[in-house]
Structure 1
Amino acid sequence: MSAVYDTWRGTVALSIVVPVFNEEEVLSVLVARLRPILDGCGEPYEVLAVDDGSTDRTPELLEGVRSAWPELRVVTLRRNSGHQAALTAGLHRARGAHVVSIDADLQDPPELIPDMLALARADGLDIVYGVRADRSTDTGFKRRTAGAYYWLMRRLAGSFVPAQAGDFRLLSRSVVETLKTLPDQGQIYRLLIPSLGFRSGRIAYQREERAAGATKYPLHKMVLLALDSVTSFSALPLRLATAIGALSLLVCLAFFVWALTVHITGNTLPGWTSLMITVLFFGAVQLFCVGMLGEYVARIYTAVQGRPTYFVARDTEEEKQ
């Protein structure tokens, strides 16, 4: 890590990547909390606000803030590409020896950034995760679904996945450079980064309520995130489909033996109900298995196309050159 760190020492020590999408209500609060913390670190820094195709006044407000905050750098995507794609754009363009990613909603406290940096330097860590030790501000449904997600991911992807660690983390330049060498097709960083095996530490905190505005992760996006996480890091669903197929075959054989026995004994009865149940059951099983295969085929299709997950329309840092 030291060689890479020395290479980047002459630029900025710390980059903060903040994906934003329609966050006009929270931007002023974000700046009011984040800037004093970074100014107080005594380190050269930059803040990359990645505008993920906002349709409200977010771009206009970012320009206003940038005029008074020279360390703010605005990266604008051509269209809404999703949170993980915006995060990828920020990580790939960050120049810092250490890079911190944080959401704009302030549910993850930016006050922990100096502690994360100090821990990484003191212990020689490449990654410092922000772990949500207390989620009492979330709804009961949110806590249960989040708990189920991390429980499932730790069993499918591996125990290396830290529980309750989202996208609030600090990365060394070595980790960022490694991420840049990987394909950017639908990365799930909360699973991908732990799988790299870099030395890591954790800082626990209480998750706060959203400072302003509405959540950008409704239920359907959480479901899609879980589906992408499963299909990206585990082949278990394919094996599950095979197991279901084998079980269905055994059930089918049992029905065949039962039907043959009934026919031989002469106890045949009109079997419309049993026939319909059998047809519907096996039809549902087949559709489930085909659908699961389709999810993996879709990922292969996307990877073969090789299209970037985002397109940058503007980077204010490039306008200075």
Structure 2
Amino acid sequence: MNDILCLVIPCYNEEAVLPETAKRLVSKMEKMIAEDFISEDSKICFVNDGSKDHTWKIIEELHRKTPMIVGIKISRNVGHQNALMAGLKTVKEFADMVISLDADLQDDIEVLDQFVQEFKNGCEVVYGVRNSRKKDSHFKRFTAEGFYKMMSLFGCELVFNHADYRLMGKKSLEALEEYKEVNVFLRGIIPMLGFKTGSVTYGRKERFAGESKYPLKKMVAFALEGITSLSIKPIKMIISLGALFFVISICILIYILIRHFSGQTVSGWTSLAISIWAIGGLQLLAIGVVGEYIGKVYLETKNRPRYIIEKTLF
């Protein structure tokens, strides 16, 4: 008996692209079923992440017309990572393997069968990895590569050029459920699971319709969320900076004493101003970083649900 595959697609204001996405995914899934590659019970699950447009109405209509398509409606917008978690946790009850992907058709769906083949070869987690960034603008390529380098610098283990296009088997999904933190960063958490992994390379396409949900501002916030969720290295860096400034202050003290005993007590305002601004800036930076971690601890201790499912279509 073939394994049941479920596709999980988080959606936020995707009314412009959703009908075409569903059409292409259904066609691909039906082809894989006809080739006896996956079970006929396989599903496509759209997760509505509190969309403000007609995304949920479209999902309901697609479900009525095509039983293969199912849906999850979250009560409010909780963000891509939490919406994805909601979908993964819901479908793992009946699926043997789950592939997560975006709704904008930038992830190449023609390689879905390669993901499944890697799973059949014994891989519990299969990463979709971009084979090139030549189509990206220079700025986009620079910021994307900078993101992975920065995450590596702060001790976060990520798969280079991998986003959230991946396959997970039931074992890895059950292991993922053991991670209870509110601040979810799946790209960093999943490599921690420790199962056998594989990869599938693909060419990322242009967005079919609509606008990107990740402008630069959100990408920066996403990177900071990942760093502070996975690493305490920023706090260690503050300790190092504090030690450096302490050594500098000792040197300045020695310099002042030498000038005092040599009778040269007139000092300029430049060194004083620089010292005040440097130390003040470091203090504000330290307070901000420590405050970010304290805020995350505060949210974790409240133990609030990451999402609330309002309605399901199965």
Which category of TM-score, normalised to the shorter sequence, fits these structures? Answer: over 0.9
**Structure 1 position 183 matched with structure 2 position 176:** no
Q: How do 1:255-274 residues align onto structure 2 when only pairs under 5 Å count?
A: 255-274=252-271
Q: Which moved more, 1:60-69 or 1:92-101?
A: 60-69
Q: Which amino acid aligns with 2:270?
A: T
Q: Per the alignment, in what secondary structure is the counterpart of residue 211 of structure 1?
A: coil
Aligned to 1:27: 18
Return the offset for 1:136.
Answer: 2.2
Counterpart secondary structure, 2:212: coil
CA contact (8 A) 1:23 1:104 kept: yes
Cα contact 1:88–1:184 (8 A) shared by 2:
no
Report the Cα distance in structure 1 between the residues aligned to 2:148 and 2:112, rounded to whole angstroms: 24
Using the size of structure 1 for normalisation, the TM-score is: 0.91
Indicate the larger mover: 77-86 or 294-303.
Answer: 294-303
Distance 1:253 1:155 in 2: 29
The CA deviation at 1:209 is 0.9
Q: Structure 1: 5+ residue runs without aligned partners? A: 1-8
| CA distance, structure 2, for counterparts of residue 41 and residue 241 of structure 1 | 53
| Structure 2 partner of 1:289 | 286
Letter in 2 for 1:149: F
Q: Which amino acid aligns with 2:11?
A: V
Asked whether the equivalents of residues 84 and 186 of structure 1 are also in contact (C-alpha less than 8 Å), the reply is: no
Code of the aligned partner of 1:72: I
Q: Deviations over 1:34-56 (max 9, x none)?
A: 11001111122111111000001
Distance of 1:113 and 1:155 partners within structure 2:
32
Which of the residues 28, 31, 37 maps onto 2:28?
37
Residues 104-143 of structure 1 show CA distances to partners (whole Å, capped at 9, x for unaligned) of 011111111111101210x211011100111222222221
Identity rate of aligned residues, in percent? 35
Deviation readout 1:171-193 (Å, 9 max, x if unpaired): 00101111112204121111110
Which residue number in structure 1 is paired with residue 196 of structure 2?
A: 199
Q: 2:225 aligns with which of 223, 228, 244?
A: 228
Q: Which stretch of structure 1 is more off in the superposition, 289-298 or 170-179?
A: 289-298
Shift of 1:149: 1.6
- After TM superposition, give the deviation of residue 157 of structure 1 in Å: 3.3
- C-alpha distance in 2 between matches for 1:115 and 1:33: 17
Look up the equivalent residue of 2:114 and give its one-letter code: D
> In the alignment, what sits opposite 2:162?
165
The one-character-per-residue Cα deviations of 1:25-77 (angstroms, maximum 9, x if unpaired) are 11122012111001111122111111000001211211221111111111111
Contact map agreement 1:13 1:96 (CA 8 A) in 2 = yes
Q: Does the CA contact (< 8 Å) of 2:176 and 2:193 recur in 1?
A: no
Which of 238, 242, 245 matches 2:239?
242
Q: Distance in 1 between matches of 2:144 and 2:233?
A: 20
1:105 aligns with 2:104: yes
Shift in alpha-carbon separation, 1:184–1:232, aligned structure 2, 3 A: closer
Amino acid at match of 2:6: S
Q: Give 1:273 deviation, angstroms.
A: 2.7
Count of aligned residue pairs for this structure pair = 306
For structure 2, which runs of at least 5 residues remain unmatched after alignment? 34-38
Q: Alpha-carbon deviation of 1:155?
A: 4.1
For 1:72, the equivalent position in structure 2 comes to 69
For 2:283, the aligned partner's letter is Q
1:132/1:204 contact within 8 Å kept: yes
Alpha-carbon distance in 2 for matches of 1:176, 1:26: 28
Q: Does 1:145 align with 2:143?
A: yes
Q: TM-score, normalised by structure 2?
A: 0.93
Give the conservation status (yes or no) of the 8 Å contact 1:46–1:73.
Answer: yes
Extract structure 1 runs of 4+ deviating beyond 4 A: none
Aligned-partner Cα distance in 2 for 1:154–1:113: 29
Aligned residue in 1 for 2:8: 17
Contact 1:136–1:207 (8 Å) recurs in 2 = no
